Amino acid sequence: MSLPLFKDKKIVLGVCGGIAAYKAASLVRLLIKEQASVQVIMTAEATQFITPLTLSTLSKNPVLIDYYDPKTGVWNNHVDLGLSADFILIAPATANSIAKLANGICDNLLTATYLSAKCPVFIAPAMDLDMWKHAATKHNIALLRAYGNTIIPPGNGELASGLIGPGRLPEPEEIIAFLADKLADSQPLKGKKALVTAGPTYEAIDPVRFIGNHSSGKMGYAIAASLQKLGAEVILVSGPTALAAPDQVTFIPVRTAKEMFDTCQHYFNSVHIAVMSAAVADYTPKVVAKEKIKKKETDFTIELQKTVDILATLGQQKTANQTLVGFALETHNELQNAKDKLIKKNADFIVLNSMQDKGAGFGSDTNKITVISRQQEIRAFTLKSKKEVAKDICNLIVQHQQSL
């Protein structure tokens, strides 16, 4: 089992009313241990087998049962629950709930959330032997599979009735292992290597002063984390920031444009994906003073020279199996400048940020982007968190890699 598969995943755990509901406590505990965020939704019948207090304590989230809590006035929005989940796990899924899910019967919060979901759904049946073997149950299971859901096969053993055979809910450890295998198989960038640059560069003037910019690195770090979650082996080359390196990412800190260029040159030939999101200095001082420059003269001139254009250099070296993404932060004539940059740098995508867009650009937790492809396709996205923007960019990268 691998932690990154579950870390920060938003999981809706549906618990239905059968004796196997007691296993939900261990299942929640294991998912929390794997650093997932777990939202439990119980059917009313499930509360007869295990208390909501137990599962809310373990999940660190209130357990949801009904659409509406008359005591607090809180409306539990099934649409938000379904759309925000990374995946839904229904365990145990009783014969009754399976029939509802298969036939679109929407009479409780869990079934309504299921019908609103766009994410993968895993269903772990648990029932007595004769119920599992009944033609109606077999038909419903076939329907659920046809809808694209994944059925976690029930285990064999002694059942609550005393019968022996299939119908047992697998042990929580077995369910976690099953999920881990499926999630690993579904990672579209598994086996790929990615290089990401982030943050500013600092070009020294003297031992205490430098030329820099306001880049926080948040966008690049979010892209690195998103690529890693999609299965890529990620190298993050970052200028100075206040951010912690994402988990499971190879982190290489640099300071200057030259250090960033040299590091990118070292790794570029070995990667399938390169995302150049760093705000690299265009110019650097020709001479760096060895001692602090004293404030003496009214006017002071620093002679600058161009830095090596990292994106353009990598664009010249790019091979047919690589995806190269560049960024353009513009203040005027934004779209045309970004199109020109795409061609000059030989990139596959240019991500355009406009300084005119409120909530976008340096320092903020949100961003608004327009992506231009090599084929001159233009995709404009709304203002989103940088984590969500990273997902949009990475989805385009996945599509491009799959087309190669």
Q: Kindly list the catalytic residues.
A: 213
List the structure tokens of 41: 């939704």
CA atoms of 12 and 18, how far apart (whole Å): 18
> Do strands 150-151 and 121-125 pair parallel, antiparallel, or not at all (unpaired)?
parallel
Q: What is the 3-state secondary structure (H, E, C) of the chain?
A: CCHHHCCCCEEEEEECCCHHHHHHHHHHHHHHHCCCEEEEEECCHHHHCCCHHHHHHHHCCCCECCCEECCCCEECCHHHHHHHCCEEEEEEECHHHHHHHHHCCCCCHHHHHHHHCCCCEEEEECCCHHHHHCHHHHHHHHHHHHCCCEECCCEEEECCCCCEEEEECCCHHHHHHHHHHHHHHCCCCCCCEEEEEECECCEECCCCCEECCCCCCHHHHHHHHHHHHCCCEEEEEECCCCCCCCCCCEEEECCCHHHHHHHHHHHHCCCCEEEECCECCCEEECCCCCCCCCCCCCCCCCCEEECCCHHHHHHHHCCCCCEEEEEEEECCCHHHHHHHHHHHHCCCEEEEEECCCCCCCCCCCEECEEEEECCCCEEECCCEEHHHHHHHHHHHHHHHHHHC
C-alpha closest to that of 235 among 265, 204, 205, 200? 265
List the structure tokens of 326: 């560049």
Q: Exposure of 333 by Cβ count < 10 A (0-12 exposed, 13-18 middle, 19+ buried)?
A: exposed
